[in-house]
Amino acid sequence: MSQGAGLSFEQAPPFSVPLRFLLTAPLFLAAAGGLVAFHPEALASRWTAPALALTHALTLGFLAMVMLGALMQMLPVVAGATLPAPRALAAITHVGLTLGTLALLAGFLFADALAWLAALGLLATALGVFLVASAAALMRAVASDTVRGIRLAWVGLAATAGLGVALAASRAGWTTLPDVAAAIDAHALVGLLGWVLLLVIAVAYQVVPMFQLTPPYPPRLARWLAAVLAAALLLRAGAILLPPGGVALIDGVLAAGVLVFALATLRLQAQRRRRLADVTLDYWRIAMASLVAAVMAWGAARAWPAWAGHDAYPLLLGVLFLGGFAVSVVNGMLYKIVPFLAWFHLQAQLQARAGSIPTMKEMISQRAMRGQFRLHVAACLLLAGALAWPPLAVPGGVAMAASALWLAANLASAVRRFRAFGGRWA
Amino acid sequence: MKDPAGEIVLDARGLEPPEPMERVLQALALLRPGQTIRLLLHREPFPLYPLLAQRGYGHATRRDADGSYVILIHPLATEAG
Ligand code: HEM
């Protein structure tokens, strides 16, 4: 039983706090597309400089940018966990992440010492400040399956950032790591599964039933999935300590966990209570299908060692996981978060009468979102195809950049509507 | 117990957010003195509460055995009087 109005949402941050992240992110996605278009060799081997720059334009510039901005909005609301000094926190994190990611891309592309120095300082500050501020909030938060999942993802981000900084320092020549290959493996695995996937799972528990009107996730799955994945990742990251058979076993647990999440989500979506067309729903479906495809590609590599050793194998996992899964989920969620916040802040600021402001659905043209979705799917298919037939890389990169710019324009149209009806930033 | 006639029942289960909130804000305009709104939902509408408070309404939320929520919405002034 709750009484009165003293609920946490009143301490929710001003619109500008999440919005600056959400509007910057598509520009990095466009930059990632541009990178592929100008350096198609990014898709030839994962160890080329453009491939590493591409990975981080996506993981830091797009995914982390949206995720940190959305967490600043979401922690106070779903967890009752207010962040200290939200405006200053947003400013430091946003500027640091933006400039730091640009410097990191420059570091990879031009192997420039000054760029590495700037990247290290800026990213360590931005992520460090965010991690400290959110740790305080997460410790106070009311525990739920979502909050427990976000806590595990927090650990994943901290570990990924720590390893990333150590790797960058070793690339710049300031330290030597005892086992660089093991550190890269751990950084990539924990970054993709321990941070990105665990966060998406934790958030899915809330947003899939809420926006897609599905039944809730089965309670036992919601209770255990993230914890099992996190435990497996911890063991896997310390793989050097495992007996030979242990790694294969743990990889199997990780793959099974990914598959369970994807299939459970697709099944819930098939049971939704209202069957209206919805772009975000389609984004989620593409995302879950990509996860299933990624697990299949992984399974094929277990069966055929020649495929496991092929250059295209890790790149296909990357295209499926980052482009097909993570970018799709985040892109789909942006189409809920930005229109909702525009509607909510307008409603709260104007105390508007019903009918005098646009509804959430009117904030972005449905046709424009649908068109952008199709272009995104085309880009993913072209990029995956480019792994088999390289001439597809350039059109794939162009399609990705165009779809990102279209996304930016669609989000900007919601913000323009917000302003046109008298919305203020404060 | 409130007279059921003094109540507007709003079953918003199965509506996509923020439609339940939009419906409540519409219903507030129709509320006559002494009337309350009984909102039925599948989840707790946290973002609705500050919008209500701002407009001078209070709420009482209860979770039913089947997991759905019942939110009673009333003008704050009449409660005090
Ligand atoms: C937080 C999200 C991050 C994710 C998801 C992520 C993901 C990855 C992945 C998947 C790789 C392997 C690339 C490949 O196999 O082609 C990688 C490599 C690398 N990452 Fe990150 N990363 C993140 C953050 C960072 C940060 C903050 C830094 C530095 C400050 C960093 C520095 C590096 C370096 C230096 C390498 C390459 C190591 C080498 O080849 O020498 N990463 N990262």
Give per-residue pLDDT as tens, A392-407: 999 999 999 999 999 9
Q: What is the pLDDT of residue A354?
A: 66
| A326-338 average pLDDT score | 98
- Number of structural domains found in chain B: 1
Percent pLDDT > 70 in chain B is 88
Q: In 3D, which of A271, A301, A278 has the Cα closest to residue A364?
A: A278
Q: In 3D, which of A282, A331, A294 has the Cα closest to residue A65?
A: A331
Q: What is the pLDDT of residue B81?
A: 38
Q: Cα–Cα distance between A356 and A299 in angstroms, integer?
A: 55
**Distance, CA A128 to ligand 1 centroid (Å)?**
16
Res. A106: pLDDT tops 60? yes
Domain that holds residue B34: 4-75
pTM, rounded to two decimals: 0.94
Partner residues linked to B63 by β-bridges: B69
Q: Which helix (H) or strand (E) holds B55?
A: none
> Does the predicted interface ipTM exceed a cut of 0.85?
no
Cα separations (Å) of A173 from A117, A168, A181, A351, B34? 11, 9, 16, 58, 75
For testing the chain B interface, which of A1, A3, A7 should be mutated: the one with the most B CBs within 10 Å? A7
Lowest-pLDDT range of A205-219, A239-253, A301-315, B48-62: A239-253
Q: What is the pLDDT of residue A240?
A: 66
In a domain, B80, yes or no: no
Lowest-pLDDT range of A330-334, A352-356, A414-418, B60-64: A352-356
CATH tag for A9-420 (out of 3.20.20.70, 2.60.40.10, 3.40.630.10, 1.20.210.10): 1.20.210.10
Q: B66 to chain A, minimum CA–CA distance in Å? A: 13
CATH code: domain of residue B35: 3.30.110.40
Q: For B23-35, what is each residue's pLDDT tens digit?
A: 999 898 888 888 8
Strand B57-63: give its sheet, edge to edge: A2-3, B57-63, B69-75, B36-41, B7-11
Cis peptide before B18 (omega within 30 of 0): yes
Phi, psi of B76 (to 5 degrees): -70, -35
Res. A12: pLDDT tops 80? no
Q: Is the CB of A121 under 6 A from ligand 1?
A: no
In a domain, B9, yes or no: yes
Q: What is the pLDDT of residue A11?
A: 60
For testing the chain A interface, which of B13, B28, B49, B68 should be mutated: the one with the most A CBs within 10 Å? B49
Lowest-pLDDT range of A93-102, A165-174, A198-207, A397-406: A165-174
Lowest-pLDDT range of A207-221, A238-252, A267-281, A322-336: A238-252
Question: What is the token pair recorded at B55?
Answer: 């407009």
Q: Which is more confident, A425 or A108? A: A108
Q: Is the CB of A369 under 6 A from ligand 1?
A: no
| A361-371 average pLDDT score | 96
**Distance, CA A309 to ligand 1 centroid (Å)?**
21
Res. B6: pLDDT tops 50? yes
Q: CA geometry: angle at A146 spanning A134 and A69, to 5°?
A: 45
In a domain, B36, yes or no: yes
In a domain, B81, yes or no: no
Q: What is the pLDDT of residue A207?
A: 92
Could B47 and A209 be called an inter-chain contact, meaning their C-beta atoms sit closer than 8 Å? no
Q: What is the pLDDT of residue B49?
A: 86
Q: Cα–Cα distance between A360 and A337 in angstroms, integer?
A: 10
How buried is residue A240: exposed, middle or buried, by Cβ count under 10 Å (0-12/13-18/19+)?
Answer: exposed
Res. A9: pLDDT tops 50? no
Partner residues linked to B75 by β-bridges: B57
Q: B60 to chain A, minimum CA–CA distance in Å? A: 5
Q: Cα–Cα distance between A180 and A196 in angstroms, integer?
A: 22
Lowest-pLDDT range of A237-251, A320-334, A382-396: A237-251
In a domain, B21, yes or no: yes
Lowest-pLDDT range of A210-214, A226-230, A277-281, A375-379: A210-214
Which span out of A2-11, A37-46, A244-253 was modeled with the highest average pLDDT? Answer: A37-46
> Which chain B residue has its CA at the smallest distance from A359's CA?
B22
Q: At B76, is the pLDDT very low, low, confident or very high (cuts 50, 70, 90)?
A: confident
Res. A340: pLDDT tops 90? yes
Res. B79: pLDDT tops 70? no
Task: Tell me the pairing of strands A2-3 and B69-75.
Answer: unpaired
Q: What is the pLDDT of residue A348?
A: 87
Could A347 and B29 be called an inter-chain contact, meaning their C-beta atoms sit closer than 8 Å? no
Q: What is the pLDDT of residue A1?
A: 35
Q: What is the pLDDT of residue A5?
A: 34
Question: Which string of b and e fits A289-318 if b means at least 16 CB within 10 Å?
Answer: bbbbbbbebbeebeeeeeeeeeebbbbbbb
| A299-310 average pLDDT score | 95
**Distance, CA A1 to ligand 1 centroid (Å)?**
46
Q: A155: how many CB neighbours lie within 10 A of its CB? A: 18
Cα separations (Å) of A50 from A34, A47, A310, A415, A422? 11, 8, 19, 33, 44
Write the residue in A273, A344, A355 that is nearest to B47 by C-beta.
A344
| Mean pLDDT of all residues belonging to chain B | 84
Q: What is the pLDDT of residue A355?
A: 73
Q: How many CA atoms lie within 13 A of A20 on its CB side?
A: 20
Q: Is the CB of A126 under 6 A from ligand 1?
A: no
Are residues A283 and A14 in contact, defined by beta-carbon separation less than 8 angstroms?
no
Q: CA geometry: angle at A51 spanning A295 and A98, to 5°?
A: 105
**Distance, CA A376 to ligand 1 centroid (Å)?**
24
Res. A7: pLDDT tops 50? no
In a domain, B16, yes or no: yes
Res. A259: pLDDT tops 80? yes
Whether A275 contacts chain B with CB within 8 A: no
Q: Cα–Cα distance between A402 and B25 in angstroms, integer?
A: 39
Name every chain A residue with its beta carbon within 8 A of the beta carbon of B54.
Answer: 348, 351
